[in-house]
Structure 1
């Protein structure tokens, strides 16, 4: 399999249809009400996506009941969790068939406990005011070290764009990449030319 590509922060059915036609591997929908890119899971649930294209719900410090509610209504394949409290637990039996991804900045993953509970990791930059979509790159050097040392697939996020994703992949060699603000005209509104250029850059041999 080639590089896994996720386009995140999709906020409209129109954008969803156009992005799906460009063939990314996953589509991300923000489930944090404080985000400018928030979309209600019931709205996401009404939208159709191509078979095999993963639907990713993105959460910030969620409760188990919040995850269960959104997973049901949004028809998600993946639950991506940011900023979990120390010793956070979830009953995996309640989420059978779903992948659970944990988002961290590289320094957090160096010291993360219970990392074995998660199916994949996403390395992102840190901003105290928001989660994701900051346009800031994370530390590629630390990310590269973690890709080599952590025995689980890692996605690289944070400040990626059509202009820098090739260099990022060459440096870090992640399992996948995740982009949001780098392919937008404004928060939650995607620039399809940029989305197409980003995916094309990721798929170059």
Structure 2
């Protein structure tokens, strides 16, 4: 007997209001992402607003805090303050800091963003795998003077992402330039556990119900 096809999870990022949270949940999103103020890219929202929105999110929807903190203690404090259940670490940090989060905030899930700049990122799998619950592959740049920590609207090399998924024992989310037009190809190529996007379902910076519906339909049919 063949195994049933696995459903691709969807995380809608850059949530900035209760209305956007409700729209994403009603459309079928599995997770919501909140961009904290110390972060490059679009969609900033302050901690008080994040906490207020998260307090109304029903289970089992996951709530991700995109944190640019580089120490485990600061990440854990930030996660607890905002009331989220998942910390998304947007820069390549020392894995020992993730171990600190595990002790300081044991109920908070840990997701490490990997900025896919080339096949060398495959070497990061064994470095981070023991310390995280999932990976998220994005199109930014880690470190240096031109750091980009997400929200670029660009795709990256999906062949590298596909190999990352194949080698990782942890679930992998795919992000970076995803839209209703390309998500089907992205899923068929990479076969991620889940997908994550911000600008691809927005118009004028606001979550667009029509684009969101089109995206969800494309994911379901991929």
Q: TM exceeds 0.5?
A: yes
Deviations 1:100-140 (A, max 9, x none): 00001233531222332111101111243532221100110
Work out the number of aligned pairs and report it.
204
Partner of 1:7: 12
Partner of 1:26: 31
Partner of 1:111: 123
User: Tell me, what secondary structure is at the counterpart of 2:153?
Assistant: coil
Partner of 1:98: 108
Change (3 A) 1:46 1:86: closer
Change (3 A) 1:148 1:40: same
Partner of 1:79: 87
Change (3 A) 1:66 1:186: farther
Equivalent pair of 2:12/2:32 in contact (CA under 8 Å): yes
Partner of 1:169: 187
The structure 2 residue matched to 1:49, chosen from 23, 48, 57, is 57
In structure 2, C-alpha distance between the alignment counterparts of 1:146 and 1:133, rounded to whole Å: 21
In structure 2, C-alpha distance between the alignment counterparts of 1:130 and 1:184, rounded to whole Å: 20
User: Tell me, what secondary structure is at the counterpart of 1:203?
Assistant: helix
Write 1 or 2 for the structure with the bigger share of helix. Answer: 2
Change (3 A) 1:34 1:148: closer
Runs of 5+ consecutive residues of structure 1 not aligned to the other structure? none
In structure 2, C-alpha distance between the alignment counterparts of 1:67 and 1:79, rounded to whole Å: 7
Equivalent pair of 2:75/2:87 in contact (CA under 8 Å): yes
Structure 1 consecutive aligned stretches of length 4 or more whose deviation exceeds 6 Å: none
The structure 1 residue matched to 2:135, chosen from 106, 121, 139, is 121
In structure 1, C-alpha distance between the alignment counterparts of 2:67 and 2:179, rounded to whole Å: 23
| RMSD, aligned α-carbons | 1.9
Deviations 1:130-158 (A, max 9, x none): 32221100110111111111111111100
Task: With the length of structure 1 as denominator, give the TM-score of the two structures.
Answer: 0.91
Deviation at 1:34? 4.4
In structure 2, C-alpha distance between the alignment counterparts of 1:142 and 1:165, rounded to whole Å: 17
Comparing 163-172 and 14-23, the one that deviates more? 14-23
User: Tell me, what secondary structure is at the counterpart of 2:21?
Assistant: helix
